[in-house]
A and B are shown apart, each in its own frame.
Chain A
């Protein structure tokens, strides 16, 4: 199976989501190894994170890195994460 390519937008978005707590920060040294066999879950987590960001920011929830999402990620903001570590442990894990 060929490795998926990641656009620059998606990479910066992923970095943004990890910085502000929407995605768990991955370990770069094993990042590619984890991708193999978990791609669907990888994509699902990313899409969910995008949706969560869009919902938090008050923009239309599409799950896609659209223009509104890009503008949101460019806006001036506080450096603290929006979702603190451990918050997911108290949330119901959605199917």
Chain B
């Protein structure tokens, strides 16, 4: 193929059959249909779209003329020159002229050697309208000599390459309809999971990521669903009331409307009422706290109420067993003064892991209710999990969690069958006890595993590390050995974590931008500087 040089600056082109120079021997409707099919040949192979308009100002104006017709390229009667078109541009740029003396065929006929397929010639001429010159490949659509058209015509590869070089291939819609973060199907029940007996009768509800699980149609998919009970009742509507007080939590703005806790005018993030204040308040310690009863007004039991059988039950998130106790969780980390076990960007959200908990930070900041046990998000992890070693999101969007000598691979929240697998499966040495960190390096798209003084490059396609690894961590200048975590943030930069601080890494220079660390809690957790810890960071 040959690209002439000029191309349209936009891909949504308009076309029109000239209002004044229409074919004298052809039905105009049939002609337009054939022309549209000819344009579709190029549209199917590229990002171009064509819209028919009724205007001589369209990008591509098709006209039929004989002999001299106001351009420097007169036709020659029947035979020889069939048509010509102009390269992209203003004015007559993109226009296509057809010799009206030819015997144009709207439908190809095998027995007609004299006739000329309008579809074949139009498809060729429109190639010129889009910027392609003639091709010397026999069989190509842009071959200058007429070749007719075959049934089930498919755009030849030479022409496809040419048009895609100019305008790009047609966008794939493979992922267009797949919802965000929804697995294709859950794994079979043969997945081994540890089962333990619970000490309470209530079941722990697992949080879902971007999935509905509490709607009527989710719980009872086979039952008919009406948005609300459309059953008239003589009794007044029931609306559950919110409790008159909320548990005190340092991360939650608390507002109190009851007499016991009058509304304050000065709401401070960490404000803690004391007995010395003038407000008649009750001291409520930070821990422990007691969950109020939901709802504070139980639904009355109306006799013969038709809605009794079809109530619209309000939903309240179930509390875990831990929150119903009065003892303080002793290992919940302080987000403003802790190191991290692992940091990963999963589905565009930041996950920070510490001990058996993790924080989740989205576009709007911290999610409420965190830190949360990691096993609540990924239930297939060991129940006795103490901490994770490394986490990263693979290019295929699966989530890899490294714990000790094993890798747990999740498809959303579901463990992929066959996992966990030992690290040795991926070419890592048997003697390796754990990984420190793992990431997909945005600089080159490769996956790297880090442990101690060494790092490996992992081939996602082959499923094992490359043969000339491990290499010395000194390659990553400035981060030292035994890092805690590494990941690529949305800004495209690489961040290495060690202790309570982090470095920003310069991918081009292969060194940290600043030898001294920045405090992690201030940058990633939003903690005030004075709470970030006064211990000097790693250098």
Contact = CB atoms under 8 A, between A and B. Distances in A.
A77 B146 contact: yes
Nearest to B148: A76
Interface stretch (B82-90, B167-175, B524-532): B82-90
A76 B144 contact: no
A79 B121 CA distance: 11
B203 interface: no
B116 A80 contact: no
Interface string A47-66: 00000000111100000000
Contact of A58 (B4, B82, B85, B136): B136
Interface residues of A, number: 16
B144 A80 contact: yes
Interface string B63-98: 000000000010100011111110000000000000
Nearest to B86: A80
A55 B85 CA distance: 24
Task: Determine chain A's interface SS by DSSP, over half rule.
Answer: loop
Interface in A22-58: 55-58
Given A56-B136, A84-B133, A78 B84 contact: yes
Contacts of A58: 136, 138
Given A78-B81, A79-B81, A72 B134 contact: no
A10 interface: no
B85 A76 contact: no
A92 interface: no
Interface size on B, as a range, is 20 to 34
Interface string A79-94: 1111010000000000
B125 interface: yes
B125 A78 contact: yes
A6 interface: no
Contacts of A55: 136
A75 B82 contact: no
Contact of B83 (A57, A72, A79, A84): A79
Interface in B179-193: none
A11 interface: no
A74 interface: yes
A38 B83 CA distance: 36
Contacts of A79: 73, 75, 81-84
B398 interface: no
A76 B133 contact: no
B136 to A, nearest CB: 5
Q: Which 10 A-B pairs have the closest CB atoms?
A: A79-B84, A76-B146, A79-B81, A58-B138, A77-B145, A82-B134, A56-B136, A75-B145, A78-B144, A77-B144
Given A76-B116, A78-B134, A79-B75, 18 more contacts: A20-B144, A55-B136, A56-B134, A56-B144, A57-B145, A58-B136, A58-B138, A72-B145, A76-B81, A78-B82, A78-B83, A78-B84, A78-B128, A79-B83, A80-B133, A80-B144, A82-B134, A82-B144
